[in-house]
Amino acid sequence: MSDRSRAGRISMGVWRRLRRAWLRMRFPNAQWGRGCDIRLGLRLALAPRGRLRLGEEVVFERDATLECGGELSIGDRCIFGHHCTVAAKESIEIGHDCLIAEMVSIRDHDHAFDDFDVPIRDQGSTCAPVRIGNNVWLAARVVVVKGVTIGDGAIVGAGAVVTKDVPSGAIAVGVPARVVKMRPGAPPAQ
C-alpha cells in the first residue's frame, strides 16, 4: 500500500510517527532523530555492534538500503532520494543538510581480491572510512567508494564515480569524478 493511500485513512504525520516508533522498537541500538521521515521499503541491516545515528528531520525516500556493521552517522536535515544505498562496514559519516539524490550508493568497503585462486566472494572486504561534509549535494546515481572525503558545500554531478577526495566548494563530475570548477564564493581549493 502506498504512503498516499495509507494517508487516506490516517494522517501522514501520524503514520510517520507510528513508523518511527516501530523502527525504535525494532532497532533499539539505533538513534532516530526527532522528525525523521523514513518511507516505505527501508532495508536495514544493523549488526549487534553497529552504531547507527540519524540526526533530526532526516528523510529517506522509498526503498532505501542501510547497512551498518560499524559506525554510520547522518547529520540533521539530510534528504536521500529513492533507492539510495549507504553501507558502512566500519565507518561512514555524513554531515548536516546534505542532498543525496536518487539511486546514490555510498560504501566504505570493497570485496578483497588479492588471491586469484580464491573466489572473490570468499576473500572478505577491505574498508576505509568515508567522510561527507555539510551541505553536500550528490546528484542522481553518484557512486562514492571507500576512503573518500567530500568537503563541505561540494557538488558531485549526476552519474559520477567518486574515487578521490573532493575539496570543499568544488563541483566534480565524471567517471572517475574530477573537479571541473569551484562554486561561486567558495574558498579556493587547498
Ligand X SMILES: CC(C)(COP(=O)(O)OP(=O)(O)OC[C@H]1O[C@@H](n2cnc3c(N)ncnc32)[C@H](O)[C@@H]1OP(=O)(O)O)[C@@H](O)C(=O)NCCC(=O)NCCS
Part in contact with ligand X (CB under 6 A); list of ranges 55-63, 108-116, 146-154, 167-175: 167-175
User: Helix, strand, or coil here: 55?
Assistant: coil
- C-alpha 23/C-alpha 46 separation (Å) is 12
Closest C-alpha to 170, from 159, 186, 157? 186
Q: Does 171 bind ligand X (CB under 6 A)?
A: yes
* Start-to-end CA span in the chain (Å): 50
Q: Does 163 bind ligand X (CB under 6 A)?
A: no
Among residues 59, 112, 161, 173, the one that binds ligand X under rule CB under 6 A: 173
User: Helix, strand, or coil here: 7?
Assistant: helix
Q: Does 180 bind ligand X (CB under 6 A)?
A: yes
Q: Is 109 a catalytic residue?
A: no
Part in contact with ligand X (CB under 6 A); list of ranges 4-12, 57-65, 109-117, 152-160: 152-160
Q: Does 144 bind ligand X (CB under 6 A)?
A: no
Burial class of residue 103, CB neighbours in 10 A (0-12, 13-18, 19+)? middle
Closest C-alpha to 147, from 158, 166, 163, 135? 163
Q: x-or-dash pattern for ligand X, window 95-124, by CB under 6 A?
A: ----x-x-----------------------
Among residues 154, 155, 179, 186, the one that binds ligand X under rule CB under 6 A: 155
Nearer to ligand X, 7 or 140 (CB): 140
CA-to-CA dists, residue 185 to 168, 177, 188, 189, angstroms: 11, 21, 9, 12
Part in contact with ligand X (CB under 6 A); list of ranges 25-33, 58-66, 117-125, 150-158: 150-158
Give the active site residues: 111
Footprint of ligand X (CB under 6 A): 99, 101, 139-140, 155, 157-159, 171, 173-174, 180
